Structure 1
Amino acid sequence: MKLTDVAVRKAAPRAKRYKLADGGGMYLEVTPGGAKYWRLKYRVAGREKRLALGVYPTVSLSAARQGGQEAHRLLAQGIDPGAARKAAKQQKVEVATAARDTFEAVAREWMARQEVAEVTANKTRWILETFLFPEIGGRPIAEVTPRELLTALRKIEESGKLETAKRAKIKAGQVFRYAVLEGKAESDPTASLRGALKAPKGNHHAAVTDPTRMGELLRSINGFAGQPVTLAALKLAPLVFVRPGELRHAEWGELDLDGAIWRIPGEKMKMGAAHLVPLSTQAVAVLRELYPLTGDGRYVFPGLRTSSRPMSENTVNAALRRLGYSGDEMTGHGFRSMAATRLNEMGWNADAIERQLAHAESNKVRDAYTHAAQYLDERTRMMQAWADYLDELRAGGRVIPIRQTRSL
């Protein structure tokens, strides 16, 4: 016998839970507490199952019957209504998750997990915020297609920033691979973009490596007529050949001039590991001469406008341009290439050179000065010999190798 609205309304609670059938497997279940639930009993592959149709009076008798009829239509098509409901709920969850896991949200999550030098983190954030977030930042990361990403990258390329476009692709790939590992995306679309961008011109970090031209450059630096802090940076750069960002972020508290050593903490290094720079007598002299000008502040090379921040990353390159060296001839980073090229050619231990260049840091010893001190005695001799060699070139003397000998 079919239920009526009156019967449903008057169904009173009893000591035990009971059911009132409506036909077709649908029934009203009444609990001892007075709650009334609509249920549908059905079978799939010989197994009895139950489907919740709602709670009375929120769901009326007629609405419950409509739900039951829809379930029977699915059953007629061979579809389990309970499984279909679960799938629909899961899809809603996935849609909501995708909406939450946008490219920008995942990229920021990835950035927060990176242990890199501040200058590296800032460059990564600048690339993402300036070029990629405006284009694909609001898109669910799982839905970003190779074509969408390529369109964003080609906008950078079309503005003439070929190197930036290349770096943006690399950063995007790192974000997508993180998303894949975290279950937020199925694939990395950058894998499909190999060869899709124009290659930047070679010799990105132009450098002077010919001894005669090195001497000319060093003499030009000595004649620099700009700011004394910039002059000091130009003089120190070839003596220590650290990365430009590491040079301009140098702090007086990291320097032991009496001990002739510069201790750079790991958080400032590109590879994230602490680094030691032995200081030649020439490097110490440059720093002692500079100390009266900037020694009362934090940074060795403070900015012109405020001493609370280091000099601009363009300062050294701009000074080189002022000295007549184009970007295709010499850059601030080029002092590293200069030292690496000449020291290797002169026969110094390749491992000691690589260690002094802070290449290939080991994650297992990250931030450990024991690792930073590898080959330190040899590196100390090498740095002093290098500085003496640069003095010879500057003076225009004989170009002789500073080849390491076994007696050292």
Structure 2
Amino acid sequence: MAKRQSNLLNDLLLKQYVRVGAPVAKSDGAGLTFTLSSAGTAAWILRFSHGGRQQEITLGRYPDLGLSAARKLAAEKRVEVQQGRNPALAVRRAKTRKDWTVRQLAEDYKNLVLSKLSDSTQRGYGRNLKRIESGMGAMSVTDVEPSDIVVRVEKAQLGWVESNTLLTVMKALFRHAAGKKIINVNPAIGVELSAILGERPEKRKRLMLTAEELHVLMTAKMSTENRLAVGVLLATGVRISELFTARREHVFLDEARWHIPKSKTGPEMDIPLAPAVVEWLGELAKVTSDSAYVIPARLRTRNERFDGDAHISKDAIREAIDFWITNHEPKIRRFTPHDLRSTMKSHMRKLGVSSDISEMCLNHKLVGVEGIYDQHNYYDERRAALELWACFLLNCEAGHEWTVRPFRQSAA
């Protein structure tokens, strides 16, 4: 490589070339050349040899890149050539790489990834994608750094759980960018929520409502629909999402059976219905006879958004419970719909129902090897357990002492 001759160019000469405006190409030595086009664009070009071929790259425009800065940058590029790297190849790769904004990346992620996930995941991720787009949507994906991820979490000012979801979404979003080779490194990797917000607070323990509290709940001053919905939720142990999305076509009252389709939260399952639950679902059917859903939406605007028929919102039952507790101040601890599942599980164990049967009543998979090889659905055993549980609830409703004999599982 030729030795660069020093001081071939100086600032005075460069300014003179620009002032005259005539096209020029003046070497500064060792491949560094100052060029001025007929259009008046001044730039620095570095010519070099790599792999036996003559190549060149544009280092930058003058006067944005001054003489001393151009010489320094040219020296750095020559070092790369000496180390076997081709600076021109890196420039070509940068030009072909997609220069997306975070908002464009989010749209692509929604179409290609998020749309394939479960409805609940789409809601949670979609909510946080809006936060990301609002805070950094105009940024170039290639400009996002780990510090930007930290700032986005801090500025959101969310609770620990929702902040964790926000960080998870950002990690997934920029993993998508890395997969498309828009970036080489995911800026969210290595960011730890505990370093931003501290250690995760202790999880709220699930409640087991007592028999006295169950009496208060079973006799609650709620609307007929809400009271029946809470009763079905409590007596069957289903997830709240399984109840509010339940369709009438899946409820077979003449067979005392409710079919739960497969979902992200559990496999498909047939739930045996105790006589009391059949009666409650029958009452609901009379109240909501014109809907395809077991518990239809009550707001006209919600139905209109879904072609005239929709189920209640995911928060409707929880809000009904909160409204009842806040306004009537019953003698019961504040609870969530999910606490009704833990209540059923705990009381079933007290009633003598085995752990495996009570777990299957909650549509939980058996753990370990047993869960892999034992494919029996224990329908009869679950029916007996759920009928015992419903009988216990009716006793609680009536305020009677429990006198029914404990559950005895039939021999295999």
TM-score w.r.t. structure 1 length? 0.67
Q: 1:255 aligns with which of 251, 257, 277?
A: 251
Q: Does 1:136 align with 2:139?
A: no
Structure number with greater CO (CA < 8 Å, separation at least 6) is 1
Q: Does 1:210 align with 2:198?
A: no
Q: What is the aligned partner in structure 2 of residue 230 from structure 1?
A: 226
Structure 1 counterpart SS, 2:113: helix
Work out the CA distance in 1 between the residues paired with 2:166 and 2:405.
Answer: 41
Structure 2 counterpart SS, 1:277: strand
Structure 1 counterpart SS, 2:270: strand
- Which aligned pairs between 1:100-179 and structure 2 lie closer than 5 A? 103-105=105-107, 107-108=109-110, 109-114=112-117, 116=118, 118-129=119-130, 131-141=131-141, 143-157=143-157, 161-177=159-175
Q: 2:408 aligns with which of 402, 405, 408?
A: 405
Distance 1:242 1:142, change over 3 A: farther
Work out the CA distance in 2 between the residues paired with 1:154 and 1:100.
Answer: 18
Q: CA deviation at 1:178?
A: 5.2
What is the root-mean-square deviation of aligned Cα atoms in Å? 3.9
Q: What is the aligned partner in structure 2 of residue 39 from structure 1?
A: none
Q: 2:348 aligns with which of 343, 355, 358?
A: 343
Work out the CA distance in 2 between the residues paired with 1:392 and 1:322.
Answer: 26
Q: Is the 8 A contact 1:206 1:328 kept in 2?
A: no
- Which aligned pairs between 1:48-127 and structure 2 lie closer than 5 A? 48-49=52-53, 77=78, 79=81, 83-94=86-97, 96-97=98-99, 99=101, 103-105=105-107, 107-108=109-110, 109-114=112-117, 116=118, 118-127=119-128
Q: CA deviation at 1:305?
A: 1.8
Q: What is the aligned partner in structure 2 of residue 66 from structure 1?
A: none
Q: 2:382 aligns with which of 376, 379, 383?
A: 379
Q: CA deviation at 1:302?
A: 0.9
Q: Does 1:283 align with 2:281?
A: no
**What CA deviation, in whole Å up to 9, does each residue of 1:362-384 have, x standing for no partner?**
9xxxxxxx999723332222211
Work out the CA distance in 2 between the residues paired with 1:123 and 1:148.
Answer: 21
Q: Which shows bigger deviation, 330-339 or 352-361?
A: 352-361
Q: Is the 8 A contact 2:233 2:340 kept in 1?
A: yes
Work out the CA distance in 2 between the residues paired with 1:97 and 1:257.
Answer: 58
Work out the CA distance in 2 between the residues paired with 1:199 and 1:82.
Answer: 45
Work out the CA distance in 2 between the residues paired with 1:198 and 1:289.
Answer: 49
Q: Is the 8 A contact 2:295 2:311 kept in 1?
A: yes
Q: Is the 8 A contact 1:209 1:338 kept in 2?
A: yes
Work out the CA distance in 2 between the residues paired with 1:402 and 1:127.
Answer: 51
Distance 1:390 1:162, change over 3 A: same
Q: Is the 8 A contact 2:288 2:296 kept in 1?
A: yes
Q: 1:303 aligns with which of 286, 297, 303?
A: 297
Work out the CA distance in 1 between the residues paired with 2:127 and 2:272.
Answer: 33
Work out the CA distance in 2 between the residues paired with 1:361 and 1:113.
Answer: 27
Q: What is the aligned partner in structure 2 of residue 246 from structure 1?
A: 242
Work out the CA distance in 2 between the residues paired with 1:401 and 1:164.
Answer: 44
Structure 1 counterpart SS, 2:231: helix
Distance 1:259 1:145, change over 3 A: farther
Q: CA deviation at 1:168?
A: 2.1
- Structure 1: segments with no counterpart, 5+ residues: 1-41, 54-72, 363-369
Work out the CA distance in 2 between the residues paired with 1:351 and 1:127.
Answer: 37
Work out the CA distance in 2 between the residues paired with 1:382 and 1:272.
Answer: 20
Q: What is the aligned partner in structure 2 of residue 67 from structure 1?
A: none
Work out the CA distance in 1 between the residues paired with 2:282 and 2:347.
Answer: 27
**What CA deviation, in whole Å up to 9, does each residue of 1:84-106 have, x standing for no partner?**
32221012223x25558955245
Q: CA deviation at 1:252?
A: 0.4
Q: Is the 8 A contact 2:102 2:138 kept in 1?
A: no
Q: Which shows bigger deviation, 177-186 or 327-336?
A: 177-186
Q: CA deviation at 1:347?
A: 4.1
Q: What is the aligned partner in structure 1 of residue 318 from structure 2?
A: 317
Q: What is the aligned partner in structure 2 of residue 34 from structure 1?
A: none
Work out the CA distance in 1 between the residues paired with 2:364 and 2:184.
Answer: 32
Q: Is the 8 A contact 1:232 1:290 kept in 2?
A: yes
Q: Is the 8 A contact 1:103 1:136 kept in 2?
A: no
Q: Is the 8 A contact 1:239 1:387 kept in 2?
A: yes
Distance 1:258 1:168, change over 3 A: same
Q: Is the 8 A contact 1:294 1:300 kept in 2?
A: yes
Q: What is the aligned partner in structure 1 of residue 391 from structure 2?
A: 388
Counterpart of 1:189 in structure 2: which amino acid? A
Work out the CA distance in 1 between the residues paired with 2:174 and 2:374.
Answer: 32
Q: Is the 8 A contact 2:249 2:292 kept in 1?
A: yes
Identity of aligned residues (%): 18
Structure 2 counterpart SS, 1:189: coil
Q: Is the 8 A contact 2:171 2:186 kept in 1?
A: no
Q: Is the 8 A contact 2:153 2:163 kept in 1?
A: yes
